[in-house]
Structure 1
Amino acid sequence: MKQLVVHNEAEWTETALLEDGRLIEFAAERVREYGMAGSFYKGRIVNVLPGMQAAFVDIGLKKNAFLYIDDMLPAHLDKQSDTKPSIEQIARKGQQVLVQITKEPLGGKGARVTMHYSLPGRYIVYMPEADYVAVSRKIEPESERVRLKSLGEHLRRSGEGMILRTAAGDGNDDSLGEELKRLRSQWDSIRSFAESTEAPHELFRDLDLAQRMIRDVFNPNADELILDDAEARERAGLYMQRMMPGVQPRVRLHRDPTPLFETYPVERQLHRDFGRKIWLPGGGTLIWDQTEALTVVDVNTGKFTGADGSLETTVTDTNLEAAEEIARLLRLRDVGGIVIVDFIDMQEESNRQRVLVRLEEKLSKDRTQSHIVGWTKLGLLEMTRKKVRESGAGLFYEPCSTCEGTGRIMIR
């Protein structure tokens, strides 16, 4: 069973997702800055850069947003034409455009925006101009995916597109149809607002953190939601009534004087799992180093000496355990960009393949897209993971003034 634990303060909302008591996701958000990724803006192009085939767009934030040419062109241009226009042919300074944030401002970079729009619901990701239907590969069996794809084709209008999410496998056909109508109406409102206002202007803000987690990870038939704020409990209840009519989810208000994150316990796991050195259950260790460009994870046997006297078995067992923990920590820390894992050297190719399969299997549970490139000639594992928002726990760290950023001090 999973538990979604939501802690509210005056300035912050923090959410923790636990599976059998183990922390697998954590997110934090400033109340006044919620929902930037996924939000819609009417912006004004302030600069067109032919050398980068991109434009900078003023959407009313401190830094201008970045709009790449492929995010301006129609999604299926390759099917219509063999040649792609240049950025100067489709964008001009002063042009007003309707854009959606796909990547929040991080560090010194502004937001990344797109003109390929999408609106996520519990069952459907609605794409008003995509003109195709896709179904989550996590839905089984294959016959159910085929049935849902056929249903999506029947429900959509010409030119519309949608992705049927994993939760669609648990929903009935009427629920999917009602959600599509709601998302379609939401898009019509955004477009009408854009037509009647001048740039730069915010048009639509995505849900707050707790509501997004309920929408994306909470299973009302199996999971439990615990909150420590009565108003937040009321908002969550109203949201679920609207999103999941007829369902009676398990929602509880935490009234115990012991803080919520100590009761479950989230606080202790956060301090352990965000350290540089993480102990594996069997005695091995992970050394975790993060730079601006990439994240490096070094796997060591630590205190684990094996049981059968075989070095290859000892090394492989440690690497298999490390693969599971790395997949969990990538999700928990919300690591983005390039990831290099230095597993302990294995002599047999079959064991290397076992480690790769184990990592892929555990990463399949992650909502954020990742891609395993494979083993390098030096025996390192290369992979990438998409980055959308600033890491929740990262908001509670500040660079160390003594080493100028090599270390971090937790201010939480």
Structure 2
Amino acid sequence: MKKMIANLASREKRIAVLEDGVLSKLVITPDHQRSTVGNVYLGKVTKVLPGMDAVFIDYGAEKNGFLHRDELPSYQLTKNSDGKAAIGQFVRQGEKLLVQVSRDEAGTKGAKLTGLIEFSTETLVYIHGMDYVGVSKKFKNEHKQKRWREMALQNKNRDEGLIVRTSMENESEAVFLERLSSLREQYKGLERKAATLKAPALLLAKDTFLMMVMNEMSQTAGGQLVIDDFDACRDLKKWAQENHKEWEISHAPGPQNVFSEMDIEAQVEKMNKKIVWLDNGGYLIFEETEAFTVIDVNSGKFTGKVAKEATLFAVNQAAAKEVARQLRLRNISGIILIDFINMAQSRHEQEIKDIVKKETAKDEKRVQVIGFTDLGILQVTRKRTSPSLSELMTVPCPVCSGSGKIESPETVAFRLERELLEHRKTDDEAVWVEASKAVADALLGEKESYRQTLEELIGKRLFLSFIPGSMNAYSIKRFGSIQEISGAFK
């Protein structure tokens, strides 16, 4: 059974999704990092990139957004578009466009935008700027599926795309026309608003968090939802009733944190740990970079009671299931390389690949399992629409700049020595250096045995004070006479 815990009481909004009692998805939205996916803006084309068939759009964010030619209504509605037409035929620099965010900013990359503005309901998706009709493949009745396709084709305009969802199957024609009219009016309202504003401007901000809750509830007929915001609880109960959802929705009044009350908080704290232990004693190591994510599988404490190949295969089986869960849980996207333990039998590789495919099929984001490389690394891609939990919850370390390593005391000490040697021919009698204790020890040697030699090499008296903390660093404060430096040093 599906269960959701929604923590909306503070500025940071959080949703935990549990399936059969196991945490399968965690959404965290800090107040300053709210997703803009679905927001509609009046943007301005700042640069046309013919070589990439794309444009940069100033839509009011810190970084300009990226919009590909295929996402332009002017391209989509050109009947003879063959994929070779230059982008300059469809858009020009300085032009104003209605754009919608389809993927948030991530790292150094700006948001991905589309000019095909989309609005959706439980039964119908409306896309302005393209000539398209789609009907859900999950219809149980093939005749009804054909009927709704004809209905959509008859009632849409040439510049409209319609997708008929599964929940429309047993609805009436009147409901379809009412929803279509409402969605059309939403788009026309945006056009009217855009006509009164200067670019860049926000036209529509979606409450993506409540939409996420509703989307999760829509995926199953029923379940349990515990939420700590009374107004949101009331709105969701109304929505569930209107959409015939058999969800048990309850309000958690507090004052205790609802995540702590439901034993979720401890699991959240584990999300940024690099190591994830498997039930059988094996473990995974996660290394996220801007370019890709590497997951290393290790046997750990698991030794097994059978042959080596069967033992390694058992670890890899458990790892394959946990990797799929962790990708969704941590919202890891882009290129993912999984270094499973090497197995001698090729059929075992195929079985591991099949497990990953089966488990990632539960993910709402598109996951492609490409296959094993010659080195035995499984290649996977997962569609990116928002930052990972690691990007949301952490910042690069100010000491190591996110590398996980810092320069050794010896490296820093020898750099200081070289800098001091550059001043050996100046007339100054002394120098005052401030350094961390570890750097000072590396510079002067055990019991300052190298001090005299260093002072002779640089031709100056060395005054040394210490920088507090564990960072290996130094600062040359000043040069001068012995009297000047000793006076300042005191």
Query: TM-score, structure 2 length as denominator?
Result: 0.74
Please say if residues 50 and 87 of structure 1, whose CA atoms lie closer than 8 Å, have aligned partners that are also in contact.
yes
Q: Within the alignment, does 1:259 sit opposite 2:257 as a pair?
A: yes
Residues 76 and 56 (structure 1), Cα distance of their counterparts in 2 relative to 1, 3 Å cut = closer
Please say if residues 70 and 76 of structure 2, whose CA atoms lie closer than 8 Å, have aligned partners that are also in contact.
no
Per the alignment, residue 305 of structure 1 pairs with 303
Offset of 1:79 from its aligned partner? 6.7
Q: Please list the CA deviations of residues 211-262 of structure 1 after superposition, one character each: whole Å capped at 9, or x if unmatched.
A: 3221244457421111112233234334445xx3455631101135432111
Please say if residues 320 and 352 of structure 2, whose CA atoms lie closer than 8 Å, have aligned partners that are also in contact.
yes
Structure 1 CA distance, aligned partners of 2:323 and 2:356?
8
In structure 2, which of residues 336, 339, 348 is the aligned counterpart of residue 342 of structure 1?
A: 339
CA RMSD, aligned part only? 2.8
Structure 2 CA distance, aligned partners of 1:364 and 1:396?
27
Alignment of 1:13-412 (within 5 A): 13-31=13-31, 34-72=34-72, 80-82=80-82, 84-135=84-135, 139=138, 143-144=140-141, 147-148=144-145, 150-156=147-153, 157-159=156-158, 160-165=160-165, 168=166, 172-174=170-172, 177=176, 179-218=179-218, 221-240=221-240, 244-247=242-245, 249-307=247-305, 309-392=306-389, 394-407=391-404
User: Paired residues, what number?
Assistant: 400
Q: Kindly provide the amino acid, as one letter, of the partner of residue 293 in structure 2.
A: T
Q: Please list the CA deviations of residues 158-194 of structure 1 after superposition, one character each: whole Å capped at 9, or x if unmatched.
A: 43333455xx259632497255444333233223333
Give the match's secondary structure for 1:315.
helix
Q: Kindly provide the amino acid, as one letter, of the partner of residue 252 in structure 1.
A: S
Offset of 1:24 from its aligned partner? 1.0
Structure 2 unaligned residues grouped into runs of 5+: 406-490
37-46 or 74-83, which deviates more: 74-83
Residues 258 and 197 (structure 1), Cα distance of their counterparts in 2 relative to 1, 3 Å cut = closer
Structure 1 CA distance, aligned partners of 2:188 and 2:262?
42
Offset of 1:365 from its aligned partner? 0.9
Residues 207 and 12 (structure 1), Cα distance of their counterparts in 2 relative to 1, 3 Å cut = same
Give the match's secondary structure for 2:343.
coil
Structure 2 CA distance, aligned partners of 1:29 and 1:225?
18
Structure 1 unaligned residues grouped into runs of 5+: none
Give the match's secondary structure for 1:305.
coil
Structure 1 CA distance, aligned partners of 2:142 and 2:2?
25
Q: Please list the CA deviations of residues 107-126 of structure 1 after superposition, one character each: whole Å capped at 9, or x if unmatched.
A: 23221111233223334433
Offset of 1:14 from its aligned partner? 1.0
Q: Kindly provide the amino acid, as one letter, of the partner of residue 258 in structure 2.
A: L
Offset of 1:87 from its aligned partner? 2.3
Identical-pair percentage: 32
Residues 88 and 7 (structure 1), Cα distance of their counterparts in 2 relative to 1, 3 Å cut = same
Offset of 1:294 from its aligned partner? 0.2
Give the match's secondary structure for 2:97.
strand
Structure 2 CA distance, aligned partners of 1:382 and 1:78?
37
Query: TM-score, structure 1 length as denominator?
Result: 0.87
Structure 1 CA distance, aligned partners of 2:336 and 2:62?
30
Larger Rg: 2
Structure 2 CA distance, aligned partners of 1:275 and 1:83?
45
Offset of 1:280 from its aligned partner? 1.0
Highest RCO, 1 vs 2 (Cα 8 Å, sep ≥ 6): 1
Residues 247 and 280 (structure 1), Cα distance of their counterparts in 2 relative to 1, 3 Å cut = closer
Q: Kindly provide the amino acid, as one letter, of the partner of residue 200 in structure 2.
A: P
Q: Kindly provide the amino acid, as one letter, of the partner of residue 260 in structure 1.
A: V
Structure 1 CA distance, aligned partners of 2:79 and 2:304?
56
